[in-house]
């Protein structure tokens, strides 16, 4: 029973080891999954932030380019001279506006108007149109005209009865020619297309403004985003499906940046499908993470198996050592230490549970050892021990104290009469020949019996009485049973003999 309990305990311990290793493996896998997820999230966040800045910078770059293109005409003495009478020659319109700006830069609108939005000239898609048509387009750029006018007025300084514009500080590192900082620009939806709108006062290269020309005329240019422009931006920035839409109509899964100073839902934004670098990170690192996780799981499984095996072996060894500490190696019965423990436990409850103690010696055992050798003696001991254990099974325990000495404790379920009957059966069992290498080995046994608590309630009382009864059985001819009660009769007989 103790062995089975030990095995169950060892089994639970090994199961605990496997559970702990499984938990560690799961924690490793969970940690790797968490790190991968965080890496993907941070890569996406960084990628989205970078893409927004790239698109914002690209939009500003496009605006700056249009400002430069327009400055070729608005920051030019010939244009300023044309506006002296606020009329434009057909040759100027054809050569400068149609054959140059429209064909080379693709401006959909080129409009000249004053600060009060009075249109002097309107050119649409390379053709001169009614100024009123241009005036209708200007309603989308009123605020830009006002900003450009404010910048113009702020840049004016008096100069000897006339006016001059503050010159722009030359930037030696600039890749483009400087232009007066008197323009206003933004992205607007014009004629159903997202367009860059630039407004700047027409000024001469000298930046000197006669007193009669103080009131500026503004050149307004509209550069729509074409399919090719959008494709070039996508290729350059590495983004997909770039387009423009009201904020409330941005497709799900897209990211956007505002393209104008507007916070309303109808405000136009640039939207595109993000590259989501996290997906690339996941696809590139997931196989490695899976391999590492599997390797970790296999290592933990190996550790669990090896540690479990070692622990199980240690538990088994410990159980065997505990068993051997109280059991006889040859017969498997209790040894003296085991017998003492059972006797102590039985005596602790002797008042409620009386028991019988049998001390047994094998008769003629020394002759078997001397004649046939110790292997024969060992065979006899194992056989007799097996027979004794089988007879007392369920009613007590048997022990071998050493040599050919055996003891048996029969529990409270066995009466005195039953104990004596069983003792006589054991006498017969010992007399049954033991086969060994073609020989029949014959021995016998003598048994002394004491009853607790009648013959004692402590070990030093009952054990000597059972021993004395054993020796009485030997003295009276062996192969017999004597009890502690018989000792009294024997003493009386001895005393009577001495008196006679």
- Per-residue pLDDT of 360-409, as tens digits, reads 999 999 999 999 999 999 999 999 999 999 999 999 999 999 999 999 99
Q: What is the structure's pLDDT at 177?
A: 52
Distance CA 216, CA 117 (A): 11
Q: For 45-102, how does the pLDDT look when each residue is reduced to its tens digit (9 = 90+)?
A: 887 888 889 888 888 899 888 998 888 888 888 989 888 887 888 888 888 888 888 8
pLDDT for 248: 76
List, in sequence order, every beta strand (DSSP E) within 10-116.
Answer: 109-114
Q: Find out whether 201 and 154 touch, Cβ atoms under 8 Å.
A: no
Q: Does residue 453 have a cis bond before it (omega within 30 degrees)?
A: yes
261/466: higher pLDDT = 466
Element housing 339 (H / E)? helix 336-348
In angstroms, the CA 163 to CA 166 distance is 10
Q: What is the C-alpha separation between 426 and 284, in angstroms, rounded?
A: 81
Strand partners, 114: 217
Residues 6 or more apart whose Cβ sits within 8 Å of residue 86: 120, 217
Exposed e or buried b for every residue in 160-190, given b needs 16+ CB within 10 A? eeebbbeeeeeeeeeeeeebbebbbbbbbbb
DSSP 370-431: HHH-HHHHHHHHHHHHHHHHHHHTTTEEEEEEETTEEEEEE-TTS-HHHHHHHHHHHHHHHH
Q: Is 1 helix (H, G, I), strand (E, B) or coil?
A: coil
Going by pLDDT thresholds of 50, 70 and 90, the confidence category of residue 459 is very high
What's the half-sphere exposure (Cβ side, CA atoms, 13 Å) at 263? 0
Give CA separation, 407 vs 327, 385, 388, in Å.
13, 10, 10
Nearest to 430 by CA among 463, 473, 467: 473
Q: What is the mean predicted confidence (pLDDT) over 346-356? A: 95
* Rounded (10°) CA dihedral 221, 224, 229, 230: 140
Please, what are the domains in the chain? 40-233+274-278 (3.30.450.20), 240-273 (no CATH), 327-499 (3.30.70.270)
Structural contact between residues 297 and 25, judged by C-beta atoms closer than 8 angstroms:
yes
Mean pLDDT lowest among 213-217, 244-248, 337-341: 244-248
Mapping DSSP to helix (H, G, I), strand (E, B) and coil, where does residue 280 land?
helix
Assign 160 to helix, strand or coil. coil
- pLDDT band of 441, cuts 50, 70, 90: very high
53 membership: H or E segment, kind and range: helix 2-74
Whether 222 shows a pLDDT value over 70: the answer reads yes
Band (497; pLDDT cuts 50, 70, 90): low
């Amino acid at each position: 029973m103790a062995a089975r309990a030990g095995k169950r305990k060892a089994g639970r311990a090994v199961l605990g080891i496997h559970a702990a290793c499984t938990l560690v493996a799961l924690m490793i896998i969970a940690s790797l999954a968490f790190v991968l997820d965080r890496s993907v999230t941070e890569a996406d966040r960084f990628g989205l932030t970078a893409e927004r800045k790239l698109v914002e910078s690209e939009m500003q770059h496009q605006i700056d380019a249009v400002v430069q293109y327009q400055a070729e005409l608005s920051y030019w003495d010939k244009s300023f001279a044309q506006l002296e009478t606020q009329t434009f020659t057909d040759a100027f319109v054809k050569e400068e506006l149609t054959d140059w700006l429209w064909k080379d830069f693709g401006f959909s609108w080129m409009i000249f108007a004053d600060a009060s939005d009075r249109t002097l000239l309107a050119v649409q898609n390379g053709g001169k149109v009614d100024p009123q048509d241009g005036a209708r387009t200007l309603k989308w750029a009123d605020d830009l005209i006002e900003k450009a006018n404010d910048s113009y007025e702020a840049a004016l300084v008096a100069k000897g009865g006339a006016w001059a514009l503050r010159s722009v500080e030359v930037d030696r590192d600039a890749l483009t020619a400087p232009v007066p900082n008197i323009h206003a620009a933004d992205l607007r939806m014009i004629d159903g297309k997202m367009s860059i709108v630039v407004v700047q006062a027409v000024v001469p290269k000298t930046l000197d403004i006669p007193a009669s020309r103080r009131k500026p005329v503004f050149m307004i240019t509209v550069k729509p985003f074409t399919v090719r422009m959008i494709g070039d931006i996508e290729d350059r920035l590495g983004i997909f499906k770039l387009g423009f839409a009201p904020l409330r109509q941005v497709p799900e899964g897209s990211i956007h940046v505002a393209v104008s100073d507007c916070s309303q839902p109808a405000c136009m934004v640039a939207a595109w499908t993000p590259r989501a670098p996290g997906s690339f990170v996941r696809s590139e690192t997931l196989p490695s993470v899976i391999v590492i996780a599997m390797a970790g799981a296999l290592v933990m499984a190996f550790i669990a198996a090896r540690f479990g095996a070692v622990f199980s072996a240690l538990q088994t060894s410990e159980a065997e050592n505990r068993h051997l500490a109280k059991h006889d190696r040859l017969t498997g019965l209790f040894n003296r230490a085991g017998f003492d423990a059972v006797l102590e436990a039985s005596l602790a409850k002797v008042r409620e549970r009386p028991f019988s103690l049998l001390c047994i010696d094998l008769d003629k055992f020394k002759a078997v050892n001397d004649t046939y050798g110790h292997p024969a003696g060992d065979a006899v001991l194992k056989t007799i021990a097996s027979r004794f254990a089988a007879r007392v099974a369920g009613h007590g325990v048997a022990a071998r104290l050493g040599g050919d000495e055996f003891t048996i404790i029969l529990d409270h379920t066995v009466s005195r009469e039953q104990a004596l009957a069983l003792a006589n059966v054991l006498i017969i069992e010992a007399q049954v020949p033991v086969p060994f290498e073609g020989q029949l080995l014959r021995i016998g046994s003598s048994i002394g019996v004491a009853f607790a608590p009648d013959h004692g309630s402590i070990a030093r009382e009952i054990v000597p009485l059972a021993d004395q009864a054993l020796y009485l059985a030997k003295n009276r001819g062996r192969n017999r049973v004597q009890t502690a009660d018989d000792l009294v009769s024997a003493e009386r007989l001895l005393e009577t003999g001495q008196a006679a």
